[in-house]
Amino acid sequence: MPFIPHTDNDVREMLAAIGAPSIDALFEEIPAALRIKSLAGIPEALTEMETGRLMQQRAGRDGRPLNFIGAGAYEHHIPAAVWAIVTRGEFYSAYTPYQAEASQGTLQLLYEYQTMMASLTGMQVSNASLYDGASALAEACLMAVRAHRKSKSARILVPASLNPTYVDVARAITEGQNLKFDVLPYEATSGTFGTTALDAFRGQDITAVVVQQPNFFGLLEDVDAIADWAAANNALLIAVVNPLSLALLKPPGEWGTQATNKGADIVVGDGQPFGVPLSSGGPYFGFMTTRMEHVRQMPGRIIGRTVDLDGKPGFTLTLQAREQHIRRSKATSNICTNQGLLVTAATIYMSLLGSAGLEKVAAASQTQTSALVAALTRIKGVKLAFAGPRFHEAVLQLDRKVSDVLEALAKRGIVGGYDLSRQYPDLGNALLVCATETRTDEDVAQYAAALSEVM
């Protein structure tokens, strides 16, 4: 019996102690009419070896095409040490650290993570993670409504240059809370939005403005001007960022040109670039940082350092009065489990790379994307949509249908980018491409050669 250790003798002794004639008798309180007669839809058991063969076949069927998609999930080198430690049973098979004395490893690691994320984003406090970047944005919108007590409108401004799936998720999760989302269009020439779009809302009660940096097209938004506008118009500012980009870019806590400007109020994003494999979209983790004044409105677990009975330092879950297991229907969120294991990966990743290493990874990714853009735009029928400064993604416009091109590339072992034409019909046949430090010059040349054939 897989994973069940009982011998016949164990079962006999245990039933005798219970005073039950059979295991079946333990289910006597369940009405007979409800009992399952057959599980015909479940196949017979496979041994571990047989299961391994099956999974190898399935995995092999998809192969390992050369990937040039980003769009919210990025292929980076993951040091071997990261998952060797993450999959240690002591991290892998532990529960949420409710018994602090028996969970100091997880708790201290989360405290170290909070410190690193706060510093990276230029904020004061961090929670211990949310599910992913998209749901983190939804939580940030709900948090902004709670934190901005003077605003009564629950109106959130979301740019069209923000990952459209993030907006879909934010709408779905906040659906029962009467939030109103207004869309800020981007400028057709630059692919970014600015104070012109925001000025349409000047003088109105706006709870929060969202800005993604770099935006969904990989372009850099004028975050200083946007932060100044939010401060001048009494709106909170929610920043959605790629954490890797912060090795190079001004952290959200420093956005704005005015000395009085405190930058973003809430910073969220997906932590996947830090040591988490692409893995078909998850598990990743969402992060959230904020300023101390908002900490009691923040959702999710928060770890604090304190002392034990002997005065020795130790770590524990804190500010639990915000959470569902204490506050029940009045909690800041229903979140319970988060993404602890992925945070473990990210913390080890950040420790191995350090700030200097992250700068190298970010710079190499930007350089390879520039090389990719240069190589592809030399092909007839391919042009760059937006010329402004960018991080490691770019929008290309093709003179034919993107989905056909992508299928043809897939046959050549290349996953060529993300088709924007459905979510952004105004951009025509638009393709979002990405190259990270994992794409070599040869990879770029291979893509260019394949695209030349296809076009």
Partner 1 sequence: MQEPLIFTHSRTGRSATGQYPHAAAADVPEKFRRKRRAELPEVSELQAVRHFTRLSQLNFSIDTHFYPLGSCTMKYNPRACNAFAMLPEFLDRHPLAPESVSQGFLACMFELQEMLKEVTGMKGVSLTPMAGAQGEFAGVAMIRAYHKARGDHDRTEIIVPDAAHGTNPATATMCGCTVVEIPSLPNGDTDVEALKQALGPRTAGIMLTNPSTLGVFERRIQEIAKLVHEAGGLLYYDGANLNAILGKVRPGTMGFDVIHMNLHKTFSTPHGGGGPGSGAVGVGERLLPFLPVPIVGREGDRYRWLDARDVPQTIGRLSAFMGNAGVLLRAYVYMRMLGRAGMQRVAEYAALNANYMLARLQQAGFDAAYPGRRASHEFIITLKRQAKQLGVNAMDFAKRLLDHGFHAPTTYFPLLVPECLLIEPTETEAKEELDGFIEAMVAIQREAEQDPAKVKGAPYTLPVRRLDDVRAAKQLDLTYQRG
Q: Among residues 143, 302, 396, 448, which is the contact residue for partner 1, using CB under 8 A?
A: 302
Distance CA 356, CA 163 (A): 28
Q: Among residues 259, 312, 380, 442, which is the contact residue for partner 1, using CB under 8 A?
A: 312
Q: Is 171 in the site for partner 1 (CB under 8 A)?
A: yes
Distance CA 369, CA 393 (A): 6
260 or 337: whose CB is closer to partner 1?
Answer: 337
Q: Among residues 204, 355, 383, 387, which is the contact residue for partner 1, using CB under 8 A?
A: 355
Q: Among residues 158, 346, 361, 430, which is the contact residue for partner 1, using CB under 8 A?
A: 361
Distance CA 13, CA 241 (A): 59
What part of residues 63-82 is at the interface with partner 1 (CB under 8 A)?
A: 63-65, 67, 69, 71-73, 75, 77, 79, 81
Q: Is 455 in the site for partner 1 (CB under 8 A)?
A: no
413 or 428: whose CB is closer to partner 1?
Answer: 413
- Name the token pair of 114: 């909070």
**Minimal distance, residue 42 CB to partner 1, in Å:** 4
Q: Is 194 in the site for partner 1 (CB under 8 A)?
A: no
**Minimal distance, residue 215 CB to partner 1, in Å:** 12
36 or 203: whose CB is closer to partner 1?
Answer: 36
- Find, among 391, 388, 372, the residue nearest to 431 by Cα: 372
- How many CB atoms are closer than 10 A to CB 102? 11
The residue assigned the tokens 């046959």 is: 411
- Binding segment for partner 1 (CB under 8 A), chosen from 119-127, 184-192, 196-204, 442-450, is 119-127
Q: Is 265 in the site for partner 1 (CB under 8 A)?
A: no
Q: Among residues 6, 202, 383, 400, which is the contact residue for partner 1, using CB under 8 A?
A: 6
Q: Is 21 in the site for partner 1 (CB under 8 A)?
A: no
Helix axis angle, 104-121 to 340-376, nearest 10°: 40
Q: Among residues 187, 293, 308, 426, which is the contact residue for partner 1, using CB under 8 A?
A: 308
Binding residues with partner 1: total (CB under 8 A): 202
**Minimal distance, residue 168 CB to partner 1, in Å:** 5
Task: State the burial class of residue 55 (Cβ atoms within 10 Å of its Cβ: 0-12, 13-18, 19+).
Answer: exposed
Q: Among residues 237, 239, 240, 246, which is the contact residue for partner 1, using CB under 8 A?
A: 246
- Find, among 145, 170, 163, the residue nearest to 236 by Cα: 145
Q: Is 55 in the site for partner 1 (CB under 8 A)?
A: yes
- How many CB atoms are closer than 10 A to CB 406? 18
Write 188-191 long-range contacts (CB < 8 A, 24+).
188/426, 189/386, 190/219, 190/386, 190/388, 191/161, 191/215, 191/217, 191/219, 191/385, 191/386, 191/388, 191/395
- Binding segment for partner 1 (CB under 8 A), chosen from 185-193, 198-206, 216-224, 423-431, is 216-224
- Find, among 179, 229, 173, 171, the residue nearest to 200 by Cα: 229
Q: What are phi and psi of 434, to 5 degrees?
A: -150, 140
What part of residues 321-340 is at the interface with partner 1 (CB under 8 A)?
A: 321, 323-331, 333-340
Q: Is 445 in the site for partner 1 (CB under 8 A)?
A: no
- Name the token pair of 340: 């602890």
Which residues are CB-contacts of 285 (< 8 A; sequence separation ≥ 6)? 129, 130, 131, 132, 270, 271, 272, 276, 338, 339, 342, 343, 346
Q: Is 176 in the site for partner 1 (CB under 8 A)?
A: yes
The region, left, alpha or beta by phi > 0 then psi within -120 to 50, assigned to residue 236 is beta
**Minimal distance, residue 56 CB to partner 1, in Å:** 7
Q: Is 188 in the site for partner 1 (CB under 8 A)?
A: no
Q: Among residues 141, 211, 267, 303, which is the contact residue for partner 1, using CB under 8 A?
A: 303
Q: Is 384 in the site for partner 1 (CB under 8 A)?
A: no
Q: Among residues 112, 190, 201, 379, which is the contact residue for partner 1, using CB under 8 A?
A: 112
**Minimal distance, residue 193 CB to partner 1, in Å:** 16
Distance CA 248, CA 366 (A): 10
Q: Among residues 314, 377, 421, 446, which is the contact residue for partner 1, using CB under 8 A?
A: 314
